[in-house]
Amino acid sequence: MNHADTEITVVIPHYNGEDLLRDCFASLFRSTELPIRVILIDNASTDGSVAIVEKEFPSVRIIKLDRNRGFAGGCNAGIQAVTTPFVLILNNDTIHEFGWIERLLVKLQSDKSLAVVQPKLLSYQDREYFDYSGACGGEMDIFGFPFARGRIVELVEKDEGQYDHLSDRIFWASGTAFLARTDVVKKAGLFDESFFAHMEELDLQWRIQLMGHSIAIEPNAVIWHRSGFTLGAESPFKKYLNHRNSLLMLSSNYRFLLTLYIFPIRLLLDYLALMYSIIKWDSGRVTAIIKAHIWILTHPGKIYRKRKLANSIRSVCDKKIIDRLYHGSIALGFYLFGKRRFMDILK
C-alpha cells in the first residue's frame, strides 16, 4: 500500500469545552499508528480551549472562524483545507479504541463504490449501550425520519453484537465520526450550512448516494461518544432543527413527482405529532414543528437551489434510493405497532 493511499486528515469542529477537547486529542493520538493530519476548526470559542491545543498538541492545525458557523460550517471550513485523499469527520466529545481508524480505512479501500464508513458508536456515559447519535449505522424511512441499528426514536439498545453481522450497507453514517473520500464529499457539495446542526450528514450522504456511491458500517471500529453534549436532548432549538432539517432534506433530494407523493404524507405525520405533543403538553415540540413548517413555506428559493444541486450530480434513479430505505413510517411503527428494536423492523 502506497503511503499516499493512507493519508488521512481529521477535521474536528469545535465550540468551547476545554476538557472535552483535551480528552479527545489525547485519545485520538493514542488510538492510531497512521501519520494523520489534524485540523481543529474553532467556531469562535469563548473559553481557553484553543490555547490548550496550541500548548499541548502543537501538531494540530487550527483554523479560527470569526463566528459560530455550527457543525456544518465548521466541517466545511476544514474540508476545504484538506488535501489528502481521505477525510475523517470527528466530534470533539469522543474517545477512541486503538486501531479504529485503520479498520475504517481498510473497509473504505475494500470497495471502490464505498464513499463513507462509520465506526460503531457506543455511549460514553454507559459503555455497554449504543450511542444515540448513530449506534451501529444509520437508517431512514421514506418520509425522512432517521433511526439507527440500535436506536429507534428515543429507545437505545444494549450492544450485544446483534448488528455486527448484518449487511454492512447503511443509509447514513453519523457526523459523530465517519471516514470519507475527500473528492466525493467535495463533488457532492459539502455540508449544507443552513442546517447548522443535525441531519446535515444525512443530507450530504443522500446526495453522495445519488452520485452512485454507498455508505457502510465497520462494527469492528469502536468509539465512545458523549451524546447530546452540545445541544441537550430536550433543547427546543434541537427539536426545531430536527424537524426543519428533515423537511428540507426530504423536499430537496427526491425527484419532483415522488416529492409530490411523499411530502403530503410526511406533513400529515407531522400534524399527528403536533396533536400528540399538544396532548402531552410538550410546548417545545409544538413550537418546533410550527416554526419548522413556517421556515419551509418561506424558503422556496433555498429548496429550489438544493434540488438543482441534487439533480446536477444525480446518476441513479430514486428507486435505488428507496430500496435502501424503510418503506413504512418508523414513528408509526414505534408508537402504534411496538417496533422497539431494529430487529423488529427486519421482520
pLDDT, one tens digit per residue, over 164-192 is 999 999 999 999 999 999 999 999 999 99
Alpha helices in the chain (DSSP H): 18-30, 49-56, 70-79, 100-109, 182-187, 200-210, 236-253, 256-279, 283-297, 300-313, 318-322, 330-335, 342-346
pLDDT at 213 over 60: yes
Q: What is the mean pLDDT of residues 133-162?
A: 96
Share of the chain above pLDDT 90, in %: 89
| 231-246 confidence digits (pLDDT tens) | 455 678 889 999 999 9
**3-state SS assignment for residue 132:** coil
CB atoms within 10 A of CB 4: 8
pLDDT at 4 over 90: no
Cβ–Cβ under 8 Å, residues 39 and 107: no
Average pLDDT score, the chain = 94
Cell 485523499 -> residue: 85
Domain residue ranges in the chain? 3-225, 236-346
pLDDT at 157 over 60: yes
Closest CA to 201 of 227, 221, 171, 223: 171
In this predicted structure, what is the pLDDT of residue 1?
47
pLDDT at 2 over 70: no
Give the global pTM: 0.94
In this predicted structure, what is the pLDDT of residue 197?
83
pLDDT at 64 over 80: yes
In this predicted structure, what is the pLDDT of residue 233?
55
DSSP assignment of 236-287 equals HHHHHHHHHHHHHHHHHHS-HHHHHHHHHHHHHHHHHHHHHHHHTT-HHHHH
Architecture (CATH level 2) of domain 3-225? Alpha-Beta Complex (3.90)
Residue 248's pLDDT band, with cuts at 50, 70 and 90, is: very high
pLDDT: which is higher, 262 or 234: 262
